[in-house]
Amino acid sequence: MLIDQQLVEKAEKLMPSLQTNEVEIQNIIEVIADDAAFQGWRIKQSMTPQEWKERSYGKNDSFIVDFGDHYVGYVKLAIKSVGSPPDAPLKLKLTFGEMPCEIAEPFESYEGWLSSSWLQEELLFVDVLPAEIRLPRRYCFRYIKVEVLDTSVKYKVAFDDIHCDAVTSGDILQVAALPASLPQDIVEMDRIAIKTLQDCMQTVFEDGPKRDRRLWIGDLRLQAQANYYTFQNYDLVKRCLYLFGGMRLEDGTVGACVFEKPYAHVDDTKLYDYALFFVSVLHDYYEATKDMDVLLELWPIAMEQLEIGVKRLDDRGIVADDSTWWCFTDWHDELNKQASAQAVLIYCLKHGRELASILGKQEHYKYITEKIQLTTNASMQYLWDENEGFFVSGENGQVSWASQIWMALAEVLPSELNALLLERLLEESPSVGMTTPYMYHHLIEALFLVGHNEQAITQMQAYWGGMMQDGADTFWELYNPNDKKQSPYGSNLINSYCHAWSCTPTYFIRKYLV
Amino acid sequence: MLIDQQLVEKAEKLMPSLQTNEVEIQNIIEVIADDAAFQGWRIKQSMTPQEWKERSYGKNDSFIVDFGDHYVGYVKLAIKSVGSPPDAPLKLKLTFGEMPCEIAEPFESYEGWLSSSWLQEELLFVDVLPAEIRLPRRYCFRYIKVEVLDTSVKYKVAFDDIHCDAVTSGDILQVAALPASLPQDIVEMDRIAIKTLQDCMQTVFEDGPKRDRRLWIGDLRLQAQANYYTFQNYDLVKRCLYLFGGMRLEDGTVGACVFEKPYAHVDDTKLYDYALFFVSVLHDYYEATKDMDVLLELWPIAMEQLEIGVKRLDDRGIVADDSTWWCFTDWHDELNKQASAQAVLIYCLKHGRELASILGKQEHYKYITEKIQLTTNASMQYLWDENEGFFVSGENGQVSWASQIWMALAEVLPSELNALLLERLLEESPSVGMTTPYMYHHLIEALFLVGHNEQAITQMQAYWGGMMQDGADTFWELYNPNDKKQSPYGSNLINSYCHAWSCTPTYFIRKYLV
Question: Collapsing DSSP states into helix, strand and coil, what is residue A81?
Answer: strand
Give the number of other Cβ atoms within 10 Å of residue A225's Cβ.
24
Find the closest chain A residue to B269 by CA distance.
A84
Find the closest chain B residue to A155 by CA distance.
B115
**Mutation for A interface: B1, B95, B96, B115, most A CBs within 10 A:** B115
Task: Give a three-class secondary structure readout of B153-190.
Answer: CCEEEEEEEEEEEEEECCCHHHCCCCCCCCCHHHHHHH
Among candidates B152, B212, B268 on the partner chain, residue whose Cβ is nearest the Cβ of A84: B268
User: Kindly report the CA angle at B303 between B241 and B443, in degrees rounded to 5?
Assistant: 70
Chain B positions in Cβ-Cβ contact with residue A122 (cut-off 8 Å): 123, 125
Rounded distance between C-alpha atoms, residue A437 and residue A475, angstroms: 9
Give the number of other Cβ atoms within 10 Å of residue A359's Cβ.
16
pLDDT score at B120: 98
Cβ pair B149:A114 closer than 8 A: no
Chain B positions in Cβ-Cβ contact with residue A153 (cut-off 8 Å): 113, 115
Cβ pair B115:A259 closer than 8 A: no
B331 closest CA partner among B173, B477, B466:
B477
Cβ pair B267:A150 closer than 8 A: no
Dihedral sign (CA A379, A385, A390, A393): negative
Spans of chain B below 70 pLDDT: none
Q: In what order do the strands lie in the sheet with A215-216?
A: A215-216, A257-259, A265-266
Question: Collapsing DSSP states into helix, strand and coil, what is residue B400?
Answer: strand
Provide long-range contacts, Cβ within 8 A and 24+ apart, for A393-398.
A393/A321, A393/A336, A393/A337, A393/A338, A393/A339, A393/A340, A394/A321, A394/A336, A394/A338, A394/A339, A395/A321, A396/A336, A398/A334, A398/A335, A398/A336, A398/A432
**Mutation for B interface: A125, A128, A133, A215, most B CBs within 10 A:** A125
From the CA of A495, how many Å to the nearest CA of chain B?
A: 14
B405 closest CA partner among B435, B377, B381:
B435
Chain B positions in Cβ-Cβ contact with residue A115 (cut-off 8 Å): 59, 88-89, 91, 150-153
A378 closest CA partner among A425, A424, A314:
A314
From the CA of A162, how many Å to the nearest CA of chain B?
A: 20
pLDDT score at B1: 86
B150 closest CA partner among B64, B106, B92:
B92
Question: What's the full length of chain B, in residues?
Answer: 514
Count H helices, E strands: chain B? 15, 16
Find the closest chain A residue to B89 by CA distance.
A117
Return the DSSP state at A492.
G
Chain A positions in Cβ-Cβ contact with residue B59 (cut-off 8 Å): 115
Cβ pair A118:B212 closer than 8 A: no
- A262 preceded by a cis bond (ω within 30 of 0): yes
Question: Collapsing DSSP states into helix, strand and coil, what is residue A141?
Answer: strand
**Mutation for A interface: B81, B87, B203, B243, most A CBs within 10 A:** B87
Rounded distance between C-alpha atoms, residue A267 and residue B220, angstroms: 58
Q: Which residues pair with B132 in a beta bridge?
A: B78
pTM: 0.96
**Mutation for A interface: B81, B111, B125, B265, most A CBs within 10 A:** B125
Cβ pair A117:B130 closer than 8 A: no
Answer yes or no: are the C-beta atoms of B475 and B98 closer than 8 Å.
no
Q: Which residues contact A252 (CB under 8 A, 6 or more apart)?
A: A2, A304, A308
Distance of CA B331 to the CA centre of its chain: 13
pLDDT score at A121: 98
From the CA of B86, how many Å to the nearest CA of chain A?
A: 9
Cβ pair B262:A84 closer than 8 A: no
Find the closest chain A residue to B139 by CA distance.
A127
Q: Rg of chain B's alpha carbons, rounded to an integer?
A: 25
Chain B positions in Cβ-Cβ contact with residue A85 (cut-off 8 Å): 259, 265, 267-268
Rounded distance between C-alpha atoms, residue B253 and residue B250, angstroms: 7
Chain B positions in Cβ-Cβ contact with residue A129 (cut-off 8 Å): 262
**Mutation for B interface: A74, A87, A93, A155, most B CBs within 10 A:** A87
Among candidates A90, A123, A128 on the partner chain, residue whose Cβ is nearest the Cβ of B123: A123
Tell me which amino acid residue A81 is: S
CB burial class (10 A; 0-12, 13-18, 19+) of residue B12?
Answer: middle
Task: Establish, for the pair of chains A and B, how many residue pairs have beta carbons separated by less than 8 Å.
Answer: 93
Among candidates B91, B116, B268 on the partner chain, residue whose Cβ is nearest the Cβ of A91: B116
Question: Collapsing DSSP states into helix, strand and coil, what is residue B311?
Answer: helix
A93 closest CA partner among A138, A113, A116, A123:
A123
What crossing angle do the helices spanning A272-289 and A234-246 adopt, rounded to 10°? 140
Q: What percent of chain A has pLDDT over 90?
A: 100
Give the number of other Cβ atoms within 10 Å of residue A509's Cβ.
22
Cβ pair B268:A130 closer than 8 A: no
Chain B positions in Cβ-Cβ contact with residue A267 (cut-off 8 Å): 84-85, 87
Q: What percent of chain A has pLDDT over 70?
A: 100
Dihedral sign (CA A281, A284, A289, A290): positive
Find the closest chain B residue to A267 by CA distance.
B85
Return the DSSP state at A493.
G
pLDDT score at A292: 98
Answer yes or no: are the C-beta atoms of A390 and A403 closer than 8 Å.
yes
A69 closest CA partner among A172, A175, A199:
A199
Rounded distance between C-alpha atoms, residue A255 and residue A266, angstroms: 6
Question: What's the full length of chain A, in residues?
Answer: 514
- What confidence tens digit (pLDDT) does each residue in A198-227 have? 999 999 999 999 999 999 999 999 999 999
Among candidates B85, B117, B268 on the partner chain, residue whose Cβ is nearest the Cβ of A259: B85
Cβ pair A150:B122 closer than 8 A: no
CA distances to A223, A457, A483 from A176, in Å = 17, 21, 36
First to last CA, chain B: 44
Helices (DSSP H) in B316-390: which residue ranges? 338-359, 362-378
Cβ pair B114:A267 closer than 8 A: no
| ipTM score assigned to the predicted complex | 0.96
CB burial class (10 A; 0-12, 13-18, 19+) of residue A76?
Answer: middle
Cβ pair A117:B151 closer than 8 A: yes
pLDDT score at A423: 98
A259 closest CA partner among A207, A322, A221:
A207
Q: In this structure, are strands A90-97 and A139-150 parallel, antiparallel, or unpaired?
A: antiparallel
Give the number of other Cβ atoms within 10 Å of residue A469's Cβ.
11
Cβ pair B85:A267 closer than 8 A: yes
Q: In this structure, are strands B2-3 and B247-248 parallel, antiparallel, or unpaired?
A: antiparallel
Among candidates A118, A127, A150 on the partner chain, residue whose Cβ is nearest the Cβ of B88: A118
Rounded distance between C-alpha atoms, residue A514 and residue A508, angstroms: 9
From the CA of A9, how many Å to the nearest CA of chain B?
A: 20
Chain B positions in Cβ-Cβ contact with residue A202 (cut-off 8 Å): none
pLDDT score at A146: 98
pLDDT score at A1: 86
Cβ pair A125:B114 closer than 8 A: no
Cβ pair A267:B87 closer than 8 A: yes
Q: Does residue A112 have a pLDDT over 90?
A: yes
Rounded distance between C-alpha atoms, residue A67 and residue A73, angstroms: 12
From the CA of A221, how many Å to the nearest CA of chain B?
A: 21
Cβ pair B85:A268 closer than 8 A: yes
Q: Which residues contact A420 (CB under 8 A, 6 or more apart)?
A: A389
Using an 8 Å CB-CB cutoff, list residues of chain A that contact chain B: 59, 84-85, 87-91, 113-118, 121-123, 125, 127-131, 137, 149-153, 212, 214, 259, 261-262, 265, 267-268
